[in-house]
Amino acid sequence: MTLTKRKILNLILSIVLWVFAAVWFVPIFWMFTTSLKQSTLATSEYPPQWIPKNPTLDNYRMIFAPASGISVLQGIKNSLLVAGASTFLGLVVAIPAAYALSRLRFKGRNAILWMYIAILAFPGIIFLIPQYFIIHRLGLMDTFWALILPGLGGTFGVFLLRQYMLGIPRELEDAAWIDGCSRLRFLLTIVIPYIKPAIFVLALMSFLGSWNSFLWPLLVLTSPNKYTLPIALVRFSAGWGDPYRGIGTLMAGAFVSVAPTILLFLIFHKYLLQGIYIGTVGKE
């Protein structure tokens, strides 16, 4: 009896929370609703309509087959390419580095480790101006490399993976050692599967970091066909005297930038919950 009573109470409270969560999520719902409206209608209707009277996919058509100027579709392609490459290359350099700094002994290891950790305490803004200059000097301005390469030197990912690798039992390594397993093979066949959750978390964080990045691409990209999605969206609406002139299309673009993230979150939320905590605060 009390059990069912409890269950009912829990259900009622759950429903209250669902409603509250729905209110919290209004910006995303409103974004989606607006993206299904004609822009002129969206700005003139009163009261605001939650369910559009004449829903239309025109805004999405505008994005995917642009009549002129800045292509949001090209922005999506560029963003996917840049985010994918940054994530992949980031893992390729960070995994072996984390392995060296957590499991191998060599001269200068501790010095480098402390340097890597100390750098994490520096605010990112310090690097903005000189990185901009270095990218300019290397002749990489207005290329995708300008978006991909600077991130590869970041130490957060190495730190996160190292925290995980410290948890690999020594016996496992000794056993592999006795079997004559090389370090590279040990890394590929034992370490990587062992730290899979950390790799997922890091991959997700660096993918989304690159997918969402705004200030840096705003500074280094100049030609419209190289714009990433956020820049394309901003430039797309930049020339309007009235900021809401093409609001329907703008919201369609915004929704396209948010939707994949929601999907990724739904797939990986369990990993995120475990991974972010262990990767930053530690095992305990």
Partner 1 sequence: MKSQQEVLRVSVETERELKLLRIKRILRREVGAWGFLLPHFFFFILFIAIPLIYGLTMSFYNWTLIGETRYVGLENYSRVWSDSRFWMAVKNTVIFAIISIPLVMGVALAYALLLSKKWYGRLWLMTAFVAPTFFSSVGVLTSWRWILGSHRAGLMNYYLTRLGILKEPISWFATSTRAWACIIGVTVWWIVGFSILLYIGALQRIPPEQYEAARIDGAGRWAQFWYITLPWMRNVLFFDVIRQVLLAFGLFDQVYFFTGGGPAGRTRTMVYYLYMVGFERQQLGRAAAISWYMFMIIFGFALINLFVLLKTVRAGAEG
Which residue lies nearer to partner 1 by CB, 58 or 103?
103
Identity of the residue, 23 or 65, whose beta carbon is nearer to partner 1 in the bound complex = 23
CA 110, 116, 121, 126 dihedral sign is positive
CB of 151 to partner 1, least distance (A): 8
Residues in the chain: 284
Distance CA 72, CA 58 (A): 14
Q: Are 261 and 211 in contact (CB under 8 A)?
A: yes
Q: Terminus-to-terminus CA distance in the chain, angstroms?
A: 39
CB of 100 to partner 1, least distance (A): 4
User: Tokens for 32?
Assistant: 């989606």
d(CA 235, CA 127): 25
Minimum distance of partner 1 from residue 225's CB (angstroms): 18
Under a CB-based contact definition with an 8 Å cutoff, are residues 238 and 218 in contact? no
SS3 230: helix
Rounded to a whole number of angstroms, the minimum distance from the CB of residue 93 to partner 1 is 4
Q: Residue 82 or 158: which CB sits closer to partner 1?
A: 158
Least gap, CB of 68 to partner 1 (angstroms) = 21
- Closest to partner 1 by CB, 28 or 56: 28
In degrees and rounded to multiples of 5, residue 244 shows phi and psi of: -105, 15
Residue with Cβ nearer partner 1 (175 or 184): 184
DSSP string, 112-143: HHHHHHHHTTS-THHHHHHHHHHHHHTT-TTS
Token code pair at residue 76? 């999506």
Angle subtended by helix axes 145-152 and 72-103, to nearest 10: 20
- Minimum Å distance from CB 255 to partner 1? 7
* C-beta of 62 vs 251, nearer to partner 1: 251
Q: Pick between residue 144 and residue 151 the one whose CB is nearest to partner 1.
A: 151
In whole angstroms, how close is the CB of 237 to partner 1 at the nearest point? 8
3-state secondary structure labels for all residues of 8-54: HHHHHHHHHHHHHHHHHCHHHHHHHHHHCCCHHHHHHCCCCCCCCCC
